[in-house]
Structure 1
Amino acid sequence: MDYNFDEIVPRRGTRSYKWDSAADADVLPMWVADMDFRTLPAIVETLQRRVAHGIFGYTKVPDAYYEAIVNWFSARHGWTMNREWIIYTIGVVPAVSAIIKAMTQPGDQVIVQTPVYNCFFSSIRNNGCEIVSSPLVRKDDTYAVDFDDLEAKASSPKAKVFLLCNPHNPAGRVWTPEELRRMGDICIRHGVFIISDEIHCELIQPGYAYTPFASLGGEYVKHSSVCISPSKAFNIAGLQIANIVTADEEIRKKIDRAINVNEVCDVNPFGVEALIAAYSEEGSEWLKQLNAYIAGNYRYMQAFCKEHLPEFPLIKLEGTYLAWMDCSALGMKSEELEEELVGKAKLWLNAGTMYGAEGEGFMRWNLACPRKNVEEGLNRFLRFVNGRRS
């Protein structure tokens, strides 16, 4: 079956956080990370059947739920997990927060690799911990890990957790097995627990391959928890479903306790049904076509920028659907640029500083939308740039 990702699905007026947050209805939103594509038809059909039942009480998560997760990651990513390792919860951010609570005490340090997903910062602060940045190093059109700096930060007696983003948002990196091992070796050597946020794991560009951190096995799986969800890839974030995968039984008990303390232990029936439908053969084919379409959007953006915006280099996109553009040529602060683009160009992008000080001068673009919207967004940006050039 062929899926139509060119379809324009009107979202304004649907209480969409992405589309209905701007006061001006003419603003084109290419900011927050949800997609403008309809989800997998099998998910819609499953939810329609569930709605038709008409009763939405407390949900018992069935065996089919665990089987879907285990079978999906085994077949698709070569990662064999035990169903006992899985703890369900309402989202990856609550999952990360609960693991931090389980593995730290207030005042402990949590290491992140900036620029990085902004909710990492709030999850760390909300647990009374100190944010320690080990910044990624820009190398031409990509980023690399500063292993010496990570070693130095991990060696602190106060460092208890390394919060990894795999694939990395917003830098677009899909970490290789070798990079993951080196990061893991540093953390294990210094007794630092690894939390790997892998919510973007299905959104991979051609020529790259996602490696689940825990699939490295051995000591790596013993010293880590992996957070996964179908929400980003299948555009079902509002259904609030995610999973924590932890092999060590004692650590898993601590995390389960933290999930309950944080009151994020009950999931809704729609999230459960949607996950089972997503992790299927049809879901795999839908993702194949989705990733090909997003890759086409990225190639279009590359060609457009090369021709019209050569002074605005793009960081190479390996994973996620989020393009990271260097806008320092404008000589504006990222937050100022975000505000002016909304007000003058009717284009909403994310300011790079949302992801840490290392994001200054950058803007993040959401390419998970019909090609027509990508074209329109880039033309609005070009008109804005040309206005400042003249």
Structure 2
Amino acid sequence: MSDFEHVIDRRKTRSIKWDNIHEVYGIDNADDILPMWIADMDFAAPKVAIDAMRERLDHGVFGYSYICVACKDAVRNWLTEYHSWETKNEWMLFHHGVVPAIASVIETFTTEEDAILITPPVYPPFFQVPGHMERTVVTCEMIENNGEYAIDFVKFEQALQQNVKVFILCNPHNPGGIVWSVEDLEKIVELCAKYDVLILSDEIHADLVFQPHKHTPIAAIAGEEAKRIITCVAPTKTFNLAGVQAAVMIASDEQVRSKLEKHAMAHGQMSLSPFAAAALKAAYEEGRPWLDELLTTVSTNMDYVIEQFQEKLPQIKVRKPQATYLLWIDYRETGLSEEEMMERLLHIGRLALEPGSKYGERGRGFLRMNVACPPSLVKEGVERFIRALD
């Protein structure tokens, strides 16, 4: 039995996904609910990363640490080999996560009088973080056709004129699973340059792309306009290391980096923990075989869910995403409201999925399902979904 087939009991590990369902969904007795909602995997991290952290643990001394050149080399080589993006070590700034990095960028480059542009449905922190900072959030809702999404560039340009200072791009897109084309990315760069808007590109799902699709870092095709782009990458989503907390901000412009460094110093932002640095280096240097097997497993899981729904719940529509390990499920043909659907899933199916409205009103009528788990759990999740609608 491979690591991707073995079911690991995650309960009583302070897991948000498994141990906090009662608080997230307001259910008193949640012990028998199967969680397939938050975006972390139910697989063990790559052995190379675990061994690197164990070696560091066995040393026994956990003093102040720094990001070594070898860590930066690992990131740079990964981006070159996996995404054909030539970067430099000096472009890198490290943070504890992509969401904290997003907050740092917004606080550094905008004021309360400025606006942030997003394209819903999209990852909730994109509108939550600016909102908590009293920034205006301008939305350009994407065009949706049978669960497929595209940017309305006419409305996008109109939105950019509303005192927008930062556009947050989800590349690849969560929850839609879209791998943006070079043409789309070039259009985004062109319009943001026209209105002097900084691009913050969240590329945390960049490694989780299915063949024949290929991720394109927006900074890699931006030419001289790469100076207005800050790209966030991380090993955490790729290698299931979210709790280890590590992310990288990549900015080719020296002035942009200087401002971010000043912000970090003002907030006492220190380096990564010794465990995060060890895991990051090991995963990027030696984790590719694990990732290849992961993608095969997730792709097979997705095929299974889609086939079962087509056969047994034809009113449920699911398109296989181009990226991420998340399915975006369209239940609008059932005629159920979101409240009714969630009630059925939680109380009849005993299954926890994410309601689409969490990603903005444009997501209402959809559910997000995480299938980065052993096939037996995916099978059980499908059975519970079917039972909920029976």
Partner of 1:303: 307
Alignment of 1:288-299 (within 5 A): 288-299=292-303
Counterpart amino acid of residue 29 in structure 1: P
One-letter amino acid matched to 2:329: M
Residue 3 of structure 1: CA displacement? 4.9
Checking the alignment, whether the CA contact within 8 Å between 1:98 and 1:262 is kept in structure 2 is no
Describe the shift of the 1:260–1:123 C-alpha distance in structure 2 as closer, same or farther (beyond 3 A).
farther
- Distance, in Å, in 1 between the alignment partners of 2:262 and 2:340 is 43
8 Å CA contact retained: 2:83, 2:215: yes
What do residues 29-48 of structure 1 show as CA deviations (whole Å, max 9, x unaligned)? 00000000111110111111
Deviation at 1:327, TM superposition (A): 1.5
Q: Look up the equivalent residue of 1:63 and give its one-letter code.
A: V
The 5 Å alignment of 1:171-250 reads 171-250=176-255
Equivalent in the alignment of 2:168: 163
**Counterpart contact for 1:206–1:295, Cα < 8 Å:** no
Residues 315 and 324 in structure 1, CA contact (< 8 A), matched pair in contact too:
yes
Q: What is the CA-CA distance between 1:15 and the residue it aligns to?
A: 1.4
| Aligned AA (2:146) | D
Structure 1 stretch 14-23 or stretch 180-189: which is displaced more? Answer: 14-23
Q: Is residue 147–residue 330 contact of structure 2 (8 Å, CA) maintained in 1? A: no
Report the 3-state secondary structure (helix = DSSP H, G, I; strand = E; otherwise coil) of the residue aligned with 1:36. Answer: coil
- Please tell me whether the aligned partners of residues 203 and 291 of structure 1 are also in contact (alpha carbons under 8 angstroms): yes
Question: Is 1:257 paired with 2:256?
Answer: no
User: CA offset at residue 82 of structure 1?
Assistant: 1.1
Distance in 2 of aligned mates of 1:16 and 1:125? 27
Distance 1:20 1:261 in 2: 35
Q: Is 1:346 aligned with 2:350? A: yes
- 1:118 alignment partner in structure 2: 124
Q: Alignment length, in residue pairs?
A: 383
Preserved contact between residue 94 and residue 264 of structure 1 (Cα < 8 Å):
no
State the Cα distance separating 1:339 from its structure 2 match. 4.2
Q: % of aligned pairs identical?
A: 37
How many Å separate the matches in 1 of 2:362 and 2:17?
A: 25
Tell me the TM-score normalized by structure 2: 0.95
Letter in 2 for 1:8: V
1:332 equivalent in alignment to 2:336: yes
Alpha-carbon distance, 1:141 to partner: 3.8
The secondary structure found in structure 2 opposite 1:368 is coil
Aligned position for 2:389? 385
1:39 aligns with 2:38: no
Given candidates 317, 322, 336, the residue that maps to 2:321 is 317
Counterpart in 1 of 2:134? 128
The alignment's TM-score, normalised by the length of structure 1, stands at 0.95
Indicate whether 1:74 and 2:80 are aligned.
yes
Query: Within 1, Cα distance between the matches of 2:91 and 2:55?
Result: 30
Q: Alpha-carbon deviation of 1:330?
A: 3.4
Counterpart selection for 2:70 from 64, 67, 72: 64
Hey, what does 1:17 align to over in structure 2?
16
1:67-119 deviation line (CA, Å, top 9, x unaligned): 11111111111111111110001000000110111111112111101000011
1:92 partner letter: V
Letter in 2 for 1:247: S
Structure 1 residue 354 displacement after superposition: 0.6
Tell me, in whole angstroms, the C-alpha distance in 2 between the residues paired with 1:44 and 1:336.
Answer: 42
> Which SS does the other structure have where 1:226 is aligned?
strand
Equivalent pair of 2:344/2:388 in contact (CA under 8 Å)? no
Which stretches in structure 2 are left out of the alignment for 5+ residues? 22-28
Cα shift readout 1:107-132 (whole Å, capped 9, x = no counterpart): 21111010000111121113221111
Partner residue in 2 for 1:267:
272
Please state how far the C-alpha of 1:335 moved relative to its aligned partner. 4.6
Q: In structure 1, what residue type is equivalent to 2:282? A: A
**Aligned partners of 1:294 and 1:262: how far apart in 2?**
39
Alpha carbons of 1:263 and 1:340: their partners in 2 closer, same or farther (altered >3 Å)? farther
The alignment partner of 2:317 has SS state of: coil
The answer for unaligned runs of 5 or more in structure 1 is: none
Amino acid at match of 2:212: G
1:47-62 counterparts in 2 under 5 A? 47-62=53-68
The secondary structure found in structure 2 opposite 1:305 is helix
Bigger CA drift: 15-24 or 193-202?
Answer: 15-24
CA distance in 1, matches of 2:261, 2:132: 18
Given that 2:66 and 2:271 are in contact with CA atoms closer than 8 Å, whether structure 1 keeps it comes out as no
Give 1:221 deviation, angstroms: 1.2
| Residues 306 and 320, structure 2, Cα contact 8 Å, conserved in 1 | no
Query: What amino acid does structure 2 have at the position aligned with 1:5?
Result: F
Are the counterparts in 2 of residues 89 and 259 from structure 1 also a CA contact under 8 Å? no
Give the Cα–Cα distance (whole angstroms) in 2 for the partners of residues 9 and 171 of structure 1: 28
Q: Determine if contact 1:118/1:354 at 8 Å carries over to the other structure.
A: yes
Q: Deviations over 1:37-70 (max 9, x none)?
A: 1111101111111111112122121111111111
